[in-house]
Every structure is written in C-alpha cells, then in structure tokens.
Amino acid sequence: MGVELYITDTLRGEKVKFEPLNPPIVTIYHCGITPYNYSHIGHLRAEVAVDLLRRTLRYFGYIDIAVSNFTDIDDKIIRRSKEEKVNWEEIPEKYIKYHLEVTRKINNLPFYVYPRVTKHIKEIIDFIKELVDKGYAYVGKTGVYFDVDKYPYYGQLSRRTEKTLWEQETDVLQDKKNSYDFALWKFRKPDEPFWSSPWSEGRPGWHIECSTMSTRYLGNQIDIHSGGTDLIFPHHENEIAQSESALGIRPWVRYWFHIGMITIKGEKMSKSLGNIIPAMDAIERYGAMELRYYMLSTHYRKPLDFNEEDISSKIREYKSLTSTISTLLTIFGELEINGYLNDEEREVFNKIIDYNRKFVMAIADDLNVSEANRILNEANSLINKEVLQKPKYSLVLASINFFKTVNQFYGVWDNLFYGKRENVEIVYKLIDILMEVRSKLRENKFYELSDYIRNKLGELGVIVSDKGKESFWKIEKL
C-alpha cells in the first residue's frame, strides 16, 4: 500500500502506524447509545467521526467490518418507562428508530450488526461464567462482581494509577471486596425486568455487553474500538479488564479511537442546563450535509464547541465548495478534449493534483481534518480563479476528481456526484403511501382495487406480498 495510515491510540497515548491484524480486514466495535432519549448532536458527532474513519479505511483499500451496540436495558430505560408510563421495551424501540433515522439522514455508512443486550443474554451469562470459573469474578448478595485486583493492568487506558481514582458503583459498596469492583450481573430488584441465570434472576451490568457482543461478531481480538472520551473510565477500562481476563489476549483492542465531547458555547451539554440539542433538530435547522461538513471540520479527538458563528462560517464554506463542484459538473460535458496544455495550464494542473495528494496525506495523518480543510479551501480558491474563469477539459477533470476524492472521505456531496438520493427517498415514501391505501381497501374488502394496485406496482418491478393482514413490498433485483 502506497500511503501509510496513522491514528492515535488512546492506550499508547500517541499517534501510531495503523496495522490491522488480518489485512485487508479491519474489525471495528463502536460503543453505541443507550436508547432512552432522543440522540443528540454529541452522539451524532461521534458517529460521524467513526464514519470518517471507516471511509478512510476503505479509501486506503481496507474492508471494514463495523459493529455498534444498543444498550437496550439499563437503569435509565427503566426510569424513562416509568416516567412515560409505558412498557420498558417500548423505550428502546422508539429511540433506536430515531437514532437510525438521524444517522441515515446524515449519510453515515450503516453498521453491519447493531447487537442488542436483550438478544444476547445467553452469551453474556456464558462470558460471566467464564470469569467466575477462572476466578476473576465473585458472587455477592446483590450481584456478580469483577474482582479488579485480579487484573494487573487496570487504570492504564485512563492513566489512573492510584486506586483511589477507581471507585465506582458506590451504591453497592458493602457487597463488594473493593470499592472499585464493578457489576457483571445485577440481581433482580422489584419492578424491574429480569432474566434467569445460574446465580440469581437479574440482568447484566453495563460493561459486560460490549466484551461479549464484540467477541461474538468480531472475534477475540479487535482492531479498533471506538467511543466517546467520556467512556474511557470506567466503561472501557472495565471492558479491557473483563475481556483480557476471559480471553487471555493482550492487547484485546489494538487501537482505541476516542472522540471528543461537544460543548455548547463552552458549556457541557446537560439536562440540568437544558442545552441538549436533539440530532434531528440540528439537521432540520442547518441541513444534513451542512451539519456533517461542520462536524467533520474539527479533529475527532478534540472537543467541539457548538456555536452559531462557527456553524455559519462552515456552512458558508460548504456552500462555496458546493457551488464550485456544481459549476464544474455542469460545464464539463461541453468542453472540448484538450490535445495540448500550455505552460500556465500545466502549472495549474500540477497544482490541483498536488492539492489532491496533500489532502489524502493530511487525512492519512490521524485524520487531520484541519489541515485537510485548509488544503480543500485553498484548492477551491485556485479552481475558482484559474479553472472556472477559462475552463479547459484537463483542468476541469482534475478539479472534479479532486473533489471526488474529498467526497470519498467526507461523503457530503453524494447528491452531486451520484445524484438523486432524495428522489429515491420520495419514491419509497410514495410506495409506502400506496401500500397504506391498499391496506385500507383490503380491510374494507375492496379487493378488485387492491389487486389493481398490486398488479400495477408489479409491472414496475415492485413486488407486493400479503401475509395475513400484513403486506410487504420489495423492489425486484434490489
């Protein structure tokens, strides 16, 4: 491979050359959300950062296998279900749907598996059993706990060398050997969902799910584990302790990819400050691709301060770039193919190619988007001045290809290059509407009309099938 990729690994605390275990495969586990409320812009930022990483890997010839979990049972979900007075299972359904919708809107690559805790209880229990059998965990009166003293490298990821900094889960202090042990399995409490286990009815602790589900889908050692910096302690520290103890592999994760938090005008986003911005609100306000471009313009490890000034300036940049690309694409088809470039044109051509090279190199350097964006906007000025004024075939083509390269990483101009995404969405929605109408017709026994709709859709390659009262559709050859 021509270009070497560098990323920062939190565990080693430095930028290191990226070398996956089994190239060209790269396994990625991203700590997803606990769906108890609407995903906010902080979640969106983390997802966009991982998306940039995945697109970068693909650009450099890797095949990524990326998985991201949903913690669909948790104290917050139970609390929320009581507040909303609904069955606890309805809470994750609602917010997972929202989360998937916003990540799709912002043009993120979908993950291959979105494992959920409640669908992996058996695997989680097996994992805990392994830890108990090997002596890394003990059974208390309120749960099964991981014995942190049995794991010699605890605190390395978060650089907490003092045991006094490890304290966690203080509500069950009396039941634990040490204040820093953490729950693998929590015994059943009244009014809470539970599953049976060899110890007592109950539910999994938080951290164990990621060790279990990443192993199930990605194997015993993973290339990249990502998540927000707020997860470093205790969540990721605990994941490492469990996984390395149970699996006997070190390092369990080869690269820890952590994404900085979002602040709002310098303040942390929090419920008490009332400054949480739901992801869809931001998308509707600024535009999905505008927001994506803005989020991509700060290095993934740095905190991102969300403020109107920065957003407006990034939106201006995005619009200017978009207008350049549209113009290039519009004029390209009408240009005569050059047989000759004069010295001046040759120089411009070389400059554009060099911007392309520099852009790729900046991204390869730990996704250095500040440098990449500087190059991008410099190239935009040059193209506006030297290419669009007196367009020549070779120069316009080099410019288009430069922006195409940028888009392979950023994914903010799919509409311009690959077109019609919005139109496809409208078509899908129209089919849904027809299907609703057809269901109503069937309910009222207007079978002739409902068959007519099915046949007409069939002629267009949209296959409609009925199972009992429910109907489904799919597009042939898709």
- Report if residue 184 touches Zn ion, rule: CB under 5 A: no
Least Å distance between CB 32 and Zn ion? 8
Counting contacts by CB under 5 A, is residue 28 touching Zn ion? no
Residue 19 assigned to a binding site = no
Return the range that interacts with Zn ion (CB under 5 A); candidates 24-32, 37-45, 268-276, 301-309. Answer: 24-32
CB of 213 to Zn ion, least distance (A): 9
Among residues 41, 49, 37, which one has the least CA distance to residue 286? 41
Stretch that binds Zn ion, among 43-51, 124-132, 207-215, 380-388 (CB under 5 A): 207-215
Other Cβ atoms closer than 10 A to 352: 23
Q: Is 172 in the site for Zn ion (CB under 5 A)?
A: no
Does the annotation place 299 within a ligand binding site? no
Is residue 31 involved in binding Zn ion (CB under 5 A)?
yes
Residue with smaller CB distance to Zn ion, 31 or 50: 31
Q: Looking at beta carbons only, is 197 or 226 nearer to Zn ion?
A: 226
Cα 46 to Cα 267, 418, 465, distances in angstroms: 18, 26, 39
CB-wise, 210 or 259, nearer to Zn ion? 210
Q: Does 132 bind Zn ion (CB under 5 A)?
A: no
**Secondary structure of the chain in HEC code, one letter for each residue:** CCCCCEEEECCCCEEEECCCCCCCEEEEEECCCCCCCCCEHHHHHHHHHHHHHHHHHHHCCCEEEEEECECCCCHHHHHHHHHHCCCCCHHHHHHHHHHHHHHHHCCCCCCCECCEHHHCHHHHHHHHHHHHHCCCEEECCCEEEECHHHCCCCCCCCCCCCHHHCCCCHHHHHHCCCCCCEEEEEECCCCCCCECCCCCCEEECCCHHHHHHHHHHHCCCEEEEEEEHHHHHHHHHHHHHHHHHHHCCCCCEEEEEEECCEEECCEECCCCCCCCCEHHHHHHHHCHHHHHHHHHCCCCCCCEEECHHHHHHHHHHHHHHHHHHHHHHHHHCCCCCCCCCCHHHHHHHHHHHHHHHHHHHHHHECCCHHHHHHHHHHHHHHHHHHHCCCCCHHHHHHHHHHHHHHHHHHCCCHHHHHCCHHHHHHHHHHHHHHHHHHHHHHHCCCHHHHHHHHHHHHHCCEEEEEECCEEEEEECCC
Q: How far is the CB of 235 from Zn ion (least distance, A)?
A: 6
**Binding-residue total with Zn ion (CB under 5 A):** 2
> Do the beta carbons of residue 106 and residue 44 sit within 8 Å?
yes
In the bound state with Zn ion, the residue whose beta carbon lies nearer, of 120 and 454, is 120
**Span near Zn ion by CB under 5 A; candidates 134-142, 202-210, 256-264, 382-390:** 202-210
Distance of CA 370 to the CA centre of its chain: 21
Binding string, residues 371-410; x marks residues near Zn ion by CB under 5 A: ----------------------------------------
50 sits near Zn ion (criterion: CB under 5 A):
no
Which of the stretches 95-103, 151-159, 206-214, 282-290 binds Zn ion when contact is defined by CB under 5 A? Answer: 206-214
Q: Please, which residue, 210 or 304, has the CB nearer to Zn ion?
A: 210
CB of residue 298 to Zn ion, shortest distance in Å: 23
Stretch that binds Zn ion, among 41-49, 83-91, 164-172, 205-213 (CB under 5 A): 205-213
Which CB, 31 or 376, lies closer to Zn ion? 31
Nearer of residues 128 and 435 to Zn ion, judged by Cβ: 128
291 touching Zn ion, by CB under 5 A: no
- Output the smallest distance, CB 396 to Zn ion, in A: 47
**What is the token pair recorded at 406?**
């940028």
Least distance from Zn ion to the Cβ atom of residue 208, Å: 10
- Interaction between residue 33 and Zn ion (CB under 5 A): no
Q: Does 224 interact with Zn ion (rule: CB under 5 A)?
A: no
Single residue of 210, 246, 291, 367 touching Zn ion by CB under 5 A: 210
5 binds Zn ion (CB under 5 A): no
Q: Contact between 360 and Zn ion (CB under 5 A)?
A: no
Tokens of residue 379, six digits: 């190239």
Minimum CB separation of residue 226 from Zn ion in Å reads 10
Asked whether position 232 contacts Zn ion by CB under 5 A, the answer is: no
Tokens of 84: 């909303």
* Residues in region 245-264 near Zn ion by CB under 5 A: none
Question: Could you give the C-alpha distances from 301 to 109, 165, 256, 288, 421, in angstroms and in order?
Answer: 20, 23, 11, 22, 31
- Does the footprint of Zn ion cover residue 66 (CB under 5 A)? no
235 annotated among ligand-binding-site residues:
yes
297 phi and psi angles, rounded to 5 deg: -85, 0
Measured from the CB atom, the residue of 148 and 210 that comes closer to Zn ion is 210
Task: Please give the single-letter amino acid code of residue 167.
Answer: E
Is 210 annotated in a binding site? The answer is yes
Q: Which stretch binds Zn ion (CB under 5 A): 30-38, 131-139, 141-149, 247-255?
A: 30-38
Between 207 and 454, CB nearer to Zn ion: 207
Judged by beta carbon, residue 247 or residue 388, the one nearer Zn ion is 247
Q: Where on the chain is the footprint of Zn ion (CB under 5 A)? A: 31, 210
Which residues define the annotated binding site for ATP? 271
